[in-house]
């Protein structure tokens, strides 16, 4: 059996990344770890998020992952460089993928970013974008309520559009022409965001990271040569009532997750 692509997220939102990986590389096996016992990451310190990210990556390593994909924007912002420095596997973070597409997309060199408090505090998107093109100005806004609205499935309500208008007005006032959806949950709000951001190109980081991963796997010779359709296994660190609905909504089918005792797996193999 060919080794899987390892994907982790603070919870189940990262299935939006799995969906794009499956679409792009249907023959690849995927192993997903969602740290549902310890989410949300978005309000935690960098030190703690880095420790959790390392533990998640080691868990995926124990499942023989050939590449680690950090689907979580918050974990990617604080831990991608750290993990790239210490793991022997290639590590791809969602921030670098979104940043490079935003830099290519903006025409007026003004990019907006929405994400969790931690992602915005880290300024990882601004740093990454200015490394690519120092003439681009990046404006970041924390939008912590949006995760909850998506989890409640309030994606098509007037109140959600009202909250979006409020959150996005400073970015619209800055004249951004590209907006990075810097959180696993936000692709599911695309229609609502479109309806309040006329003329702004939305950058769906879950799509972009899938392209980035596929290019990197081809560069490193990691693409599978089997013909059979790939499988997806899901591990969570705690039970989540909504998982069946969520996987149906995002992946179009129900998956039964395995619940793992995170500490035992990471520290005793
Ligand atoms: N997965 C997180 C992200 O993409 C959102 C949820 C959380 O705060 O843990 O930033």
Write the pLDDT tens digit of every residue in 108-121.
Answer: 999 999 999 999 99
Q: Could you give the CA distance from residue 111 to residue 105 in angstroms, rounded to a whole number?
A: 9
Q: Whose CA is closest to 120, among 139, 100, 134, 99?
A: 139
Task: Give the three-state DSSP class for 243.
Answer: helix
Q: Could you give the CA distance from residue 195 to residue 165 in angstroms, rounded to a whole number?
A: 10
Q: Whose CA is closest to 75, among 59, 89, 96?
A: 96
Q: Could you give the CA distance from residue 135 to residue 130 in angstroms, rounded to a whole number?
A: 7
Query: Do 83 and 53 meet the contact criterion of CB atoms below 8 Å apart?
Result: yes
Is residue 72 lining ligand 1, measured as CB closer than 6 Å?
Answer: yes
Considering the candidates 129, 183, 217, 250, report the single residue annotated as catalytic: 183
What pLDDT is recorded for position 1? 59
Token look-up 């309806």 returns 195
Distance 143 CA to ligand 1 centre (A): 11
Residue whose Cα lies nearest atom 7 of ligand 1: it is: 40
Is residue 243 lining ligand 1, measured as CB closer than 6 Å?
Answer: no
Is residue 92 lining ligand 1, measured as CB closer than 6 Å?
Answer: no
Residue whose Cα lies nearest atom 8 of ligand 1: it is: 42
Is residue 42 lining ligand 1, measured as CB closer than 6 Å?
Answer: yes
Whether 128 is a known active-site residue: answer: no
pTM (2 d.p.):
0.92
Write the pLDDT tens digit of every residue in 199-236.
Answer: 999 998 888 899 999 999 999 999 999 999 999 999 99
Q: Could you give the CA distance from residue 107 to residue 151 in angstroms, rounded to a whole number?
A: 33
Helix-then-strand count for the chain, H and E: 12, 10
Q: Whose CA is closest to 188, among 210, 156, 159, 157?
A: 156
Tokens for 4, please give them. Answer: 């899987």
Which ligand 1 atom is the nearest neighbour of the CA of 39?
9
Is residue 16 lining ligand 1, measured as CB closer than 6 Å?
Answer: no
Average pLDDT over residues 132-142: 98
What pLDDT is recorded for position 241? 81
Write the pLDDT tens digit of every residue in 246-262.
Answer: 899 889 988 899 999 86
Considering the candidates 21, 25, 70, 72, report the single residue annotated as catalytic: 72
In Å, what is the CA distance from 259 to each residue of 3, 8, 37, 141, 229?
21, 14, 10, 34, 24
What pLDDT is recorded for position 261? 81
Other C-beta atoms within 10 Å of 202: how many?
A: 17
Query: Do 94 and 73 meet the contact criterion of CB atoms below 8 Å apart?
Result: yes
Which helix H or strand E contains 223, and what residues bound it? none
Write the pLDDT tens digit of every residue in 17-63.
Answer: 999 999 999 999 999 999 999 999 999 999 999 999 999 999 999 99
């Amino acid at each position: 059996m060919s080794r899987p692509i390892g994907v982790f997220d603070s919870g189940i939102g990262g299935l939006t990344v799995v969906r794009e990986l499956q679409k792009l590389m249907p023959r690849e096996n995927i192993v997903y770890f969602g740290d549902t016992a310890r989410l949300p990451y978005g309000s935690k310190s960098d030190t703690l998020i880095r420790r959790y990210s390392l533990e998640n990556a080691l868990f995926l390593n124990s499942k023989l992952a050939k590449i680690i994909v950090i689907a979580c924007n918050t974990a990617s912002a604080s831990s991608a460089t750290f993990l790239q420095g210490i793991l022997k596997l290639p590590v791809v973070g969602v921030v670098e993928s979104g940043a490079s597409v935003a830099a290519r997309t903006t025409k007026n060199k003004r990019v907006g970013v929405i994400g969790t408090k931690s992602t915005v505090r880290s300024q990882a998107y601004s740093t990454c974008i200015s490394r690519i093109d120092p003439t681009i100005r990046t404006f970041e806004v924390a939008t912590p309520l949006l995760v909850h609205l998506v989890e409640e499935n309030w994606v098509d309500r007037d109140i959600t559009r009202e909250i979006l208008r409020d959150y996005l007005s400073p970015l619209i006032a800055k004249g951004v022409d590209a907006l990075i959806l810097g959180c696993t949950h936000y692709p599911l709000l695309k229609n609502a965001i479109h309806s309040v951001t006329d003329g702004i190109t939305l950058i769906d980081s879950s799509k972009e990271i899938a392209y980035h991963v596929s290019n990197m796997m081809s560069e490193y010779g990691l693409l599978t040569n089997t013909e059979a359709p790939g499988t997806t296994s899901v591990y969570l660190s705690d039970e989540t009532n909504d998982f069946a609905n969520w996987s149906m909504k995002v992946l179009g089918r129900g998956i039964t997750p395995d619940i793992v005792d995170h500490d035992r797996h990471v520290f005793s193999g």
